[in-house]
Structure 1
Amino acid sequence: MEDWNELRLVLAIQRDGSLTAASETLGIDHSTAYRRLKALETQLGARLFERLPGGVYQPTEAGARIAAGAERMEDEFLALGRDVVGGDHRLSGRLRVTSSETLAYSQLTTHLAAFRRAHPGIVVELSIENRVLSLARREADIALRPVRPKEGELWGKKLAGVAWGWYAAPSYVAEKGALSRSQKLDGHALIGWDEAASGIRAAQWLALNAASASVVYRTNSLVNQLIAARAGVGLALLPCYLGDSDTGVARVAANPVAELEGELWIVTHADLRKTARVRAFFDVVGEGLARQRELFEGKRGISRKR
């Protein structure tokens, strides 16, 4: 095996579980990926994957060994890259950031504008992703995450707590009334998540605490839930930093939902923490978001919203 791309192909198929998904990951067409895999198997005289129904590719013992070796090589390659970038003292170049849709929509972009004014030589590439991108594999340099990082190689800081509350259009509140102190949802039309959002903690809480028949509108986008609430569709369960900053909706219960209290973290790989671009982003954007702690934690008064 003389070509690193052969190893990358085997690793991608093993990770993605199909040739189609692997070809998309590598940016090549399906027929090219198929020809390269067949040529590699012929060259080695060994079958690397079993083709199962539904297009699933399951690695054989030989395929698993090659994929494991490729992963070790990838780890070394990425570590070398992080080591080089980690010593970069230039306030110029590319900086890849990942954030959720809601944070980017409501708060982050203002701070990115401030960062641009402070450091015009740095080009920010923002990936709006609700899935967790790998900082070890350099899918992003910096992540803004709603959970404390668990991976030992990551480094970051907590910016604020994150509170969730119920929001609705003023016209809806005038017709149906606000929630009681007990926050009982009886008689209210609710905006919720679709089935694909079953892994979201707020979606799980809503499924346990509200009758399915009460949910009159479903979407996997929190931004769209906000827009639906603004249009008077019903009550939406939103992060307070999203709802309290939007003049088209009002909080309909004084206290946030205690069970949904979360956190906002800014995270990078430990190897990149001393990179000038990363430090600058932590200083400008991270500190800017941290100064909005009251908004994130739902402590901004709701009287001005009614």
Structure 2
Amino acid sequence: MDDWNELRLVLAVQRGGGLTAASEAMGIDHSTAFRRLKALEARLGVRLFERLPNGVYQATEAGARIAAGAERMEDEFLALNRDVAGGDHRLSGRLRVTSSETLAYSLLTAHLAALRQAHPGIVVELSIDNRVLSLSRREADIALRPVRPKEGELWGRKLAGVAWALYAAPAYLAENSGLSRSGELDGHALIGWDEAAPAIAAAEWLARSATSASVVYRTNSLVNQLIAARTGIGLALLPCYLGDSDGGVVRVSGEPVAALQGELWIVTHGDLKKTARVRAFFDLVGEGLASQRDLFEGRRSSN
């Protein structure tokens, strides 16, 4: 085996459980991934994966050994890459950032514009993704996450708490009464998550607080839930920084839902914390978001 891309392919197939995920990770089409894997198996004279009845590719003993070796090589390469990048003192170059859809839609972009004005040489590549991307594998340089990082090699800080509340359009509330003193939701039309959406605390709270029959509209996008509430479809449970900054909806209840207090963190890999453009992002964007703590924590409405 004299081609690093062959090792990458085996590792990508094992990680993704199939050729579709592997081809996406490597930026090649499915047929190319299939052809390369078959050619590698033929040249080595050994099968590297067994395809299970559910379509998942399971590594054989030989495939697992190759994938483990490829992962060790990748770790060394990424460590070297981070070491070099960590000493980069230029306020220019590419900076890959990952953020949730709601943060990017509501508040983040204005702070990115401030970064652009201060340091026009920094090119931000924003990945809007609710998944937790790997900073160790350089899937992103900086992450804005709703949870405290657990990986010991990561470095960052909490920017704010994140409060949630119920919102509706004024027209909806004009035609329907507000919440009862007990806060019961039944009797209201609700906007919720589709069943395939990942389990999050807000969705679980809504499921406990109202019957499934009350949910008249479902979507896996919080931004779309906001838009649906704005049109008068029903009540939506939203982070306060999203709902309070939108003039088309108002809070149904005065106080945020106490059980749904979350967090917002800014995180990078420890090897990159001294990189000039990473520091600039922390200073301008991180501090800019932290200055809106009252909005994140539901103490100030910008309506």
Q: TM-score, normalised by structure 1?
A: 0.96
Aligned to 2:100: 100
Equivalent position SS for 1:97: strand
Aligned to 1:38: 38
Deviation of 1:3 (Å): 0.8
The verdict on how the C-alpha distance between 1:19 and 1:270 changes in structure 2, with shifts beyond 3 A counting, is same
**How many residues end up aligned between the 2 structures?**
303
Aligned pair 1:254/2:254, yes or no? yes
Asked whether the 8 Å contact 2:184–2:209 carries over to 1, the reply is no
Deviation of 1:203 (Å): 1.0
Equivalent position SS for 2:264: strand
Instruction: State the Cα RMSD in Å.
Output: 1.2
For 2:86, the aligned partner's letter is G
Distance 1:237 1:22 in 2: 36
Asked whether the 8 Å contact 1:19–1:55 carries over to 2, the reply is no
Deviation of 1:197 (Å): 1.4
Distance 2:159 2:21 in 1: 36
Asked whether the 8 Å contact 2:229–2:235 carries over to 1, the reply is yes
Equivalent position SS for 1:133: coil
5+ residue gaps, structure 2, are: none
Distance 1:114 1:102 in 2: 19
Asked whether the 8 Å contact 1:240–1:297 carries over to 2, the reply is yes
Deviation of 1:12 (Å): 0.6
For 2:205, the aligned partner's letter is W
For 2:264, the aligned partner's letter is L
For 2:195, the aligned partner's letter is E
Distance 2:41 2:160 in 1: 52
Structure 1 runs (4+) greater than 3 angstroms displaced: none
Asked whether the 8 Å contact 2:160–2:290 carries over to 1, the reply is yes
Deviation of 1:19 (Å): 1.6
Asked whether the 8 Å contact 2:18–2:55 carries over to 1, the reply is yes
Equivalent position SS for 2:196: helix
Aligned to 1:135: 135
For 1:60, the aligned partner's letter is T
Aligned pair 1:212/2:203, yes or no? no
Aligned to 1:151: 151
5+ residue gaps, structure 1, are: none
Aligned to 2:188: 188
For residues 211-257 of structure 1, give each alpha carbon's deviation from its aligned partner in whole angstroms, at most 9, with x where no partner exists. 00000110111111101111110000000000001111000101111
Asked whether the 8 Å contact 2:141–2:268 carries over to 1, the reply is yes
Asked whether the 8 Å contact 2:244–2:250 carries over to 1, the reply is yes
Distance 1:268 1:42 in 2: 41
Aligned to 1:203: 203
For 2:60, the aligned partner's letter is T
Aligned pair 1:89/2:89, yes or no? yes
Deviation of 1:37 (Å): 1.4
Return 52-61 or 102-111, whichever deviates more. 52-61
Asked whether the 8 Å contact 1:162–1:298 carries over to 2, the reply is yes
Matches within 5 A, 1:41-80: 41-80=41-80
Asked whether the 8 Å contact 2:179–2:253 carries over to 1, the reply is yes
Aligned to 2:225: 225
